[in-house]
Amino acid sequence: MKSLATHCSILYLLLNSLAGAAFGFSIKNHANLIPASTESLVSTQIGSASATTETRRQSLVKLISTVSTVGIYTAFPSPTFALEDATNNSNKRVAIIGGSGRTGMSVAETIASDAYKMNGMIMTRSGKDPFQIVKLPPSTKERLSLYPGSVDVRDANGVFQALKESSPNYVVYAASASKQGGNSFDVDDVGVENVALACKEIGARLILISALAVDRPQSKSFQITNTIGGYMDKIMDAKLNGETKCKQILGKNYVIIRPGVLLSGKSKGGASDIELNQGDLIGGGLGRDELAGIVAGAIESNVSGVTVEAYRIKTRTKLQPEFPMTSGNELTASTYTGLFANANSD
């Protein structure tokens, strides 16, 4: 068992790291007071770029366990979800990671709408409210809260702290690669792993928004998307890595949604225009509001351990020329929740 001094030193180092990230200064003024062995321990727990995936995952688990034990929190007030109302969905507390992007905002607006009445916690890398100048219906706005701090998926400790403090039972992963927020492997691979580990620790179900054709490297969709270059280079490889880690870490406590090309404009027919599929054989395009409806439907249906492709029926197409036009796994319904009624487990 580690000594009290060692635990205090670990707390000191981690608190210093948090302070530096949040406020741009260091509280580590007396390095001679911290044993070298403690610095080595913390460094090992955080992990290095050269570590193997398994070693890194073990290090993250140890770090989460350490932080959970000593109870470190940021200087922000504890976040709270909106008060529960009389609906069945009021006990569904949904954290939306990547909440400032267009997809994340659409998900937040949908789950908190009068149609679903779920309570949402918006988490952004900037810590700013994406709806500050967006007019929402009062009832929708009442169901949404902003996490009072930055949530960067590259920061395993920060992700764990945010989810532990807000205590959601569902986490929607809508983060995407960007110049400021990290490349495709930072966000779609390592970021997903960080969030999945935190979800496992707090017992939350992860709704991962991935992409169509991630496991069809011979398809044009994969080849074109995977060679975009820049910070999005190899994004399909990164997304497949993220999906694999999600399944390995969470067992069956996840839903993976693979949308096709995101189209502009809002849908007219809602769920009736949408088809889900399984097997990554068929694809197409859909709007962000439709994708958000599918996310809400996945949560409301309480389905788990499922991967689906999503697109508008009128845009359906084979992912590869040799594939059939029907897979036998098509899922349609008049509601987004009903789309998952006959979904097969992975």
Label residue 134 exposed, middle or buried (CB < 10 Å: 0-12, 13-18, 19+): exposed
The secondary structure of 246-260, three-state, reads HHHHHCCCEEEEEEC
Which pLDDT does position 222 carry in this prediction?
Answer: 95
Domains by residue range for the chain, with CATH: 4-70 (no CATH), 88-340 (3.40.50.720)
As a whole number, mean pLDDT of residues 191-198 equals 98
- Residue % of the chain over a pLDDT of 70: 75
Distances (CA, A) of 126 to 23, 73, 147, 340: 13, 18, 10, 34
As a whole number, mean pLDDT of residues 118-139 equals 96
pLDDT for residue 268 is more than 90: no
Q: Give tens-digit pLDDT for 68-108.
A: 443 333 333 446 665 444 347 878 999 999 999 999 999 99
Reading the block at residue 240, the tokens are 């497949």
Contacting residues for 247 by C-beta, under 8 A, at least 6 apart: 254, 346
**266: pLDDT confidence band, cut at 50, 70 and 90?**
confident
Which pLDDT does position 283 carry in this prediction?
Answer: 95
pLDDT for residue 35 is more than 60: no
- Residue % of the chain over a pLDDT of 90: 72
Distance CA 228, CA 223 (A): 9
Distance CA 308, CA 295 (A): 11
